[in-house]
Structure 1
Amino acid sequence: MRNAHHKGARRLARELALQGIYAWLLSGNKYKNVNEIHDDIHDNGKSNLIDNDWFKILINGVLDNHDLLCEKFTPYIDRSLDSISPVEYAILLMGSFELINHIEIPYKVTINEAVELAKSFGGTDGFKFINSVLDKLASDIRNS
């Protein structure tokens, strides 16, 4: 039973991190640090249910490595970065960060979580795009 709660806490952390990265992208990167983002989106009453460490790892990882992460997934997208919706862009950043920096998490779990986020928050077929890009990235970096 404990694992179910833990997974829920990680899922919530990913959802909040997505909101934070999305806000950061839309703001033109005006947030200076994770604490500002954390304070802005953490007022939703779920704080005690969230894996806060994972939330911070994801946000810090994406903000600190933004350009590198874009370099890693850009070869697998069939359109310009500018034409990707901010939600899908944020999910790709987060998924890429997880695939590259957290190999202890099975790549299928990372991709599945990203697809679930895309289904919940993205456009109609966005999850297919996310799945395709992260799948190609995973096979490239996890098999090399």
Structure 2
Amino acid sequence: MSSAKTKARQCAVQALYQWQMTGQNLSAIEGQFQEDQRLKNAQKSYFSDLFHGVPKYLDRIDASMADFVDREVEKIDPVERAILRIGVYELLLKPETPYRVVINEGVELAKSFGADGSHRYVNGVLDKVAQVERKLEIEAKKKKNSM
């Protein structure tokens, strides 16, 4: 049984994929998700935050991962790109969510929606972004574990 936040992330991946592929209006896509009951059991406010937040901060998100991907961000598989964008968004703008949770959720999304082995790619990219964007959190965790 997945949590309401996990369900929100799953729906956000699907909605962002649709947006990336069609360029449709965000509100129209969100409306479809609500009409189809796809947001049932999802934390709707978190879905909305992710779904509207990624396009709002797209340049910053893509720039944060550009050094850690093996091709232009736009050439990454669209499913993996949606998953990575959500993960990087959370790493940048959701400091209340521990970086390990963000990475783990990204890996699980890739296992569910991505191609075979894509979870390893997502894990590697999100881990590298976390090393930069969550440096203080990671160092504090290492210090705590070494005591």
- Normalized against structure 1, the TM-score is what? 0.88
Does the alignment pair 1:70 with 2:62?
yes
* Aligned-residue offset at 1:132: 0.2
Q: Which residue of 1 aligns with 2:12?
A: 17
* Aligned-residue offset at 1:44: 3.6
* Aligned-residue offset at 1:47: 3.4
CA distance in structure 2 between the aligned counterparts of 1:90 and 1:53, rounded to whole angstroms:
18
- The alpha-carbon distance between structure 1 residues 109 and 37, as it changes in their structure 2 partners (threshold 3 A), is same
When Rg is computed on C-alpha atoms for both structures, the one with the higher figure is: 2
Percent identity of the aligned residues? 35
SS of the residue corresponding to residue 95 of structure 2 reads coil
State the AA in 2 paired with 1:25. Q
- The alpha-carbon distance between structure 1 residues 112 and 140, as it changes in their structure 2 partners (threshold 3 A), is same
* Aligned-residue offset at 1:48: 3.9
What is the correspondence of 1:1-144 to structure 2 with a 5 Å cutoff? 8-27=3-22, 29-31=23-25, 33=26, 35-143=27-135
CA distance in structure 2 between the aligned counterparts of 1:60 and 1:37, rounded to whole angstroms:
11
SS of the residue corresponding to residue 28 of structure 2 reads helix
String of CA shifts for 1:7-39, please: whole Å, max 9, x gaps: 611111001111110001001x232x3x21211
CA distance in structure 2 between the aligned counterparts of 1:67 and 1:99, rounded to whole angstroms:
15
* Aligned-residue offset at 1:79: 2.0
CA distance in structure 2 between the aligned counterparts of 1:126 and 1:11, rounded to whole angstroms:
18
SS of the residue corresponding to residue 30 of structure 1 reads coil
State the AA in 1 paired with 2:92. I
SS of the residue corresponding to residue 35 of structure 2 reads coil
SS of the residue corresponding to residue 62 of structure 1 reads helix
SS of the residue corresponding to residue 37 of structure 2 reads coil
Q: Tell me, which stretches of 5 or more residues in structure 1 are unaligned?
A: none
- Normalized against structure 2, the TM-score is what? 0.86
* Aligned-residue offset at 1:46: 4.5
Q: What number of residue pairs does the alignment pair up?
A: 136
